[in-house]
Amino acid sequence: MKEQTREQPEILAAAEKQMQTWVMNQEVEARSLHTKEVRQLAGQVQAYVAISRQSGAGGSEIAQLVGQKLGWEVFDKDLVDRIANRFQLSRVMLELVDETQSNWVYDVLGTWMDRNIIPHEKYVAHLGRIVLAVVRNQNCVMVGRGVQFLLPRKNGLAVRLIASQKYRIEQITRRMKLNNAEAKRFIQETDRGRGEFVRRYFHRDIDDPHLYDLVINVEQLGVDAAIDLITAAIPSLRN
């Protein structure tokens, strides 16, 4: 049977096309449902800051400090905890799809082989509902996960934090106790995963500066200046 399959590549191609179509339909359905929810909540949500960041640019640290200065709650990895608790999903399995590079074969076959594996489409649909619920009730700062594309844009300040690779490698080696080669590989893999996540589910280029209200070079300006720039822009959300 295996020999026959190898001799008929058109069968494999047809199966692959069918699986890709299935995944695409799942994505379209999830986005359609979420877009409807966003429209229904327009004008009913609070102000938020959505921070996108290059790996090693200090996104989580700056988000926490901005939150402290504003008196707003900060959501980073705890968004994954909220999804796990709200929808009774495995925290470990959610970690596997959280801003990682997606693999459609894993998504489809994995759900058939193991009921505990969470497909990326389901994760994004749940993420959208969680962030909408959060911002409906309070002002907040959110890190990563493309939340600016999941929320009413007029209510949010979209920020991108960047720095040179040299600076970011230095930060990662210090924070994670890695050597330069390991830190460089970590940065490349992390940024690739985040970029793929945004490209697949929101059809955007994460490095496009036009997607953001502020693009801040943390290496050049420093953490304190980055915080000041972000908090200074908040009053514009209330106008």
DSSP string for residues in 199-236: HHHH---TT-GGG-SEEEEHHHH-HHHHHHHHHHHGGG
Domains in the chain, CATH or no CATH each: 2-238 (3.40.50.300)
Whether 21 has a pLDDT exceeding 60, the answer reads no
- CA 157/CA 113 separation, integer angstroms: 41
Helix pair angle (120-137, 9-41), 10° resolution: 10
Arithmetic mean of pLDDT, 136-161: 90
Whether 108 has a pLDDT exceeding 80, the answer reads no
Other residues' Cβ atoms within 10 Å of the Cβ of residue 122: 18
pLDDT 10s digits, 189-218: 999 989 988 988 888 999 999 999 999 999
Mean pLDDT of the chain: 77
In 83-185, the DSSP E strands lie at 140-143, 156-162
Closest to 142 measured CA to CA, from 80, 216, 228, 204: 80
